[in-house]
Amino acid sequence: MRRFSMKKIIGLLLVFFLLISPSLAKDKKVEFDAQAAWSYIKDLAADFMQGRKSGQPGGVMGEEYIASKFKEWGLEPAGDNGTYFQNFTIEHRNIGEGVAFEIITDKARRDFYYGEDWRVQRYSGSGHFTAEIVFVGYGIHAPKEEYDEYAGVDVKGKVVLFATSVPQRLQKKLGDAVKMDKRVEAAQRLGARGILVFRPSTSTQSRYFRMSVDKKLYKPDFVMLSVEGKVTDFIFKDLKTDLRSVFRKMSKTSKPVSFETGEKIFVSVDAIFDEKRAARNVLAKISGTDKKLKDEYIIIGAHMDHLGIGPMGDVYNGANDNASGSAVVMELARIMKLNRAKPERTVIFATWAGEEQGLLGSRYYADHPTHPIEKAVANINLDMVGFGSGKLNFGGIYYAPHVWKVIKENLPKEMLDFVKPGRGGPGGSDHTPFLGKGVPAFFGITVDSFLKYHRPGDDSDLIQPELLKKTGDFVHAAVKLLASDPQNFIQPRRQENYYLKYQNLVNYKLSPINNVIANHGDTKDSHVDLQLSVVEEKESLSGDELRIDIINNLFDVQEKIKKTKGLSLYSSSSSLAMGSRLGKTTVITGLKGLNAFRDDMRWAQVLAKQGLYFVVAEDPGFLFDEKGLNEEGKKIVKAVNTSGLLLCVKGANASQSKALLEGSKKPLVFFEKDLPDKDVLDLIKKKESAIGLILTVDADPAAYFKKMDKVKKAIGTQYLMMVNEQCLWGNSGKNQMLNVISEIIKAEYERSDLSNIFSSTFLRVLNKARGDGSQQMMRFRPF
């Protein structure tokens, strides 16, 4: 038997371990390194980066830094012409350092703090001057309409002070003259050096108030400033009146109140405006390896820009917002490359420029993608993920349940426990342009992350590395899953389906309420947000028997809806928002027919108090005679107006529609298959009513859209509703709607137009008829 000495045994073991150690090292995967990510944040959020504002030197440095890291780590370029950059131009606005603002009275001189007490507004010019302040009410110059707040005062070389919000009565009377653009233009034309604008409720005015004006109104030497309550209080402190008294007098007399205040303003502002400044998205990738899937991609993105240097000289370093998101994207790119990842689908790593100026970089990519947008499987957007209370909000599951399902069913529980999945939606960050293209887009932001939001002090020492680690691990695992799953994630007509889901969708098919409860009571997350349902009058009943039957029906309905899982009762626009948030369809109940109160008009008011919101008059010929509304018709219209019910009319001819509009003091809704004539449309606009164009079962979508477009051009979408004849709960009604949405997308309608057509017009006339000040439901933010 051969013997081995201890030396030989040790030597053989050393050789063995040396031989196997490379394979062991090869199998070991590099994990997400929170300290490495934090080091990128320290670099990006350092003072020398000057706040990384896009279009400024600090923004350029940030772009170069990230691109150099991608190159160092060996990632493939995914930008223009084989580079890491996607070039585009932005509209650049900036306020130079050293601003000053003082109000000078006979008794005192006081300076005010920028950002707290006053702000420079978009498209303001520069100014270094002292000038008198003239109060001009709402700043309206409409001499032709006999309402001129500049009459009797000289504003040449002075600064005018006026309120932003114009009362409804003046909006109706003066039309376009009340628009902010017209008011600013008037001040410029009459020789003012600038404007000070404030909200009438100045004590509660938000410091983030922004005035929206056209950039054509930019003049290099005309300043546009907003002021807070402290400023207006100081201006009026030594005057013989106060703002509340002034506006009360204006309301009482319906006449302008303008005067020279005797106070002066000293202002020093350097406002920089450049319509074209260069900016760059930074894009890198790891290419897919599967022959069928490699052209599809997942794009992980975060904006790299922040606010730059403030007017008071503060550097806004933006460590959490959003060096943190950029750092997670960078570290994911590094470890996936180090681990020699070979995903079936391509993975793109993106850092966006211009987010703080309006999602400019991500919007540019969505409109001019370096890789076809229709091949994007999903977007994961990370914004402010370095500070918070320990969890990650992850919105988007309502718009992409098929993608979320894969993540939810395959990731470990401890990883999912870190995540708070949310419905999601557009707004607030760079996932929004992707959603608009129909791409499943998720928005990750840590819970309670706003401590130093848009303030000096958002520095790297604020960052919690453990949050970076958990976020990075979760996104890494999700991306690996989505990049390798063989299923088809790219669904047909996804852009149209996004609009269908995003808009508050009203089902105008007037279904009997009991049918809705029976068929859809437990349907959750339907694309129907608001269901119009009716209690039908029984022909066999009349008088009190009919009215008691209707009330019993209403009580019965209310109790049944409370017991359902998928329905909720309408009570206000906020109840609709809450219902949508909970994935429920909100039911609003009306009455089909007018017989319940023909013999006693007081019952219209009684029924309104029992939960009715509208009445439907089909073939309303009995309301008219040869002269127009007959006596019964006048009484019924008055009763409906007084009760707060919305009158919806079907089957009225042109002369009947005119008579109803002229005889009603509240808005009406007309359901029509054909376009009304111009006189009717003009009256609808004048009376703030609405036309609901019926989309018939056999309608050609393109032809229907042309009719809708004619109404839009004639009176605007704020008076237009799209009324689907088919029930939207079924696929036939849904597909019909998708066909029309395709035409709307081609025509590039504004988001506000879509909102009006789908729901906001109806909600406006409903609330107006009821006397509710709120005009439409606002879509809730992602979190």
- Supply the angle between the helices 324-338 and 57-72 in degrees, to the nearest 10: 20
In a shared domain, residues 572 and 696:
yes
Q: How far apart are CA 659 and CA 662, in angstroms?
A: 5
In a shared domain, residues 354 and 228:
no
Pair of tokens at residue 473: 């691990």
- Evaluate whether residue 780 is within a structural domain: no
- Evaluate whether residue 310 is within a structural domain: yes
- Evaluate whether residue 411 is within a structural domain: yes
Q: How confident is the model at residue 724 (pLDDT cuts 50, 70, 90)?
A: confident
Which span out of 97-101, 253-257, 441-445, 597-601 was modeled with the highest average pLDDT?
441-445
- Evaluate whether residue 629 is within a structural domain: yes
| CA pseudo-torsion sign 738, 740, 746, 751 | negative
Please determine, for residue 486, whether its predicted confidence score (pLDDT) is greater than 60.
yes
Of the residues 451, 486, 521, which one is the last residue of a structural domain?
486
pLDDT at residue 107, as a whole number: 87
- Evaluate whether residue 491 is within a structural domain: no
In a shared domain, residues 356 and 290:
yes
Helix, strand or coil, per DSSP, at residue 329: helix
| Cβ(427)–Cβ(781) below 8 Å | yes
- pLDDT per position as a tens digit, 271-328: 988 878 999 999 999 999 999 999 999 999 999 999 999 888 899 999 999 999 999 9
Of the residues 220, 238, 269, which one is the last residue of a structural domain?
269
Residue 359, Ramachandran bin (φ over 0: left; ψ between -120 and 50: alpha; else beta)? left
In a shared domain, residues 421 and 481:
yes
- Could you identify the residue written with the tokens 């929206």? 212
What average pLDDT does this structure show over 19-28? 47
| Cβ(757)–Cβ(721) below 8 Å | yes
Pair of tokens at residue 543: 């008088």
Phi, psi of 329 (to 5 degrees): -60, -45
Q: How far apart are CA 372 and CA 367, in angstroms?
A: 10
Please determine, for residue 3, whether its predicted confidence score (pLDDT) is greater than 70.
no
Q: What is the CATH number of the domain that holds 130?
A: 3.50.30.30
In a shared domain, residues 331 and 448:
yes
Pair of tokens at residue 120: 């420079």
Residue 300, Ramachandran bin (φ over 0: left; ψ between -120 and 50: alpha; else beta)? beta
Q: How far apart are CA 460 and CA 744, in angstroms?
A: 46
- Evaluate whether residue 775 is within a structural domain: no
| Cβ(761)–Cβ(717) below 8 Å | yes
Pair of tokens at residue 542: 């009349």
- Burial 333-352, CB ≥16 within 10 A → b, else e: bbbbbeeebebbbbbbbbbb
636-to-597, 639, 724, 763 alpha-carbon distances in Å? 8, 5, 28, 23
Pair of tokens at residue 498: 């996004």
In a shared domain, residues 615 and 679:
yes
Please determine, for residue 10, whether its predicted confidence score (pLDDT) is greater than 60.
no
- pLDDT per position as a tens digit, 152-209: 999 999 999 999 989 988 988 898 899 999 999 999 999 999 999 998 764 344 445 6
DSSP letter at 626 equals T
Domain that holds residue 436: 30-92+276-486
In a shared domain, residues 388 and 530:
no
- Could you identify the residue written with the tokens 């050293």? 98
pLDDT at residue 501, as a whole number: 86
- Evaluate whether residue 779 is within a structural domain: no
Please determine, for residue 26, whether its predicted confidence score (pLDDT) is greater than 50.
no
Pair of tokens at residue 212: 């929206």
- pLDDT per position as a tens digit, 589-616: 999 999 998 888 999 999 999 889 999 9
In a shared domain, residues 264 and 287:
no
Q: How far apart are CA 135 and CA 160, in angstroms?
A: 6
DSSP 475-527: HHHHHHHHHH--S----TTHHHHHHHHHS--EEEEEEEHHHHHHHHTT--S-S
Helix, strand or coil, per DSSP, at residue 130: strand
In a shared domain, residues 594 and 470:
no
Q: What is the CATH number of the domain that holds 467?
A: 3.40.630.10
Q: How far apart are CA 422 and CA 16, in angstroms?
A: 53
In a shared domain, residues 265 and 283:
no
pLDDT at residue 5, as a whole number: 56
- Evaluate whether residue 16 is within a structural domain: no
Of the residues 237, 254, 269, which one is the last residue of a structural domain?
269
Q: Cα–Cα–Cα angle for 713, 717, 723, nearest 5°?
A: 115
Domain count, the chain: 3
Q: What is the CATH number of the domain that holds 559?
A: 3.20.20.140
In a shared domain, residues 443 and 539:
no
What average pLDDT does this structure show over 361-382? 97
Which residues lie closer than 8 Å to 748 by C-beta, 6 or more apart? none
β-bridge pairing 297-303 and 194-198 = unpaired
In a shared domain, residues 679 and 730:
yes
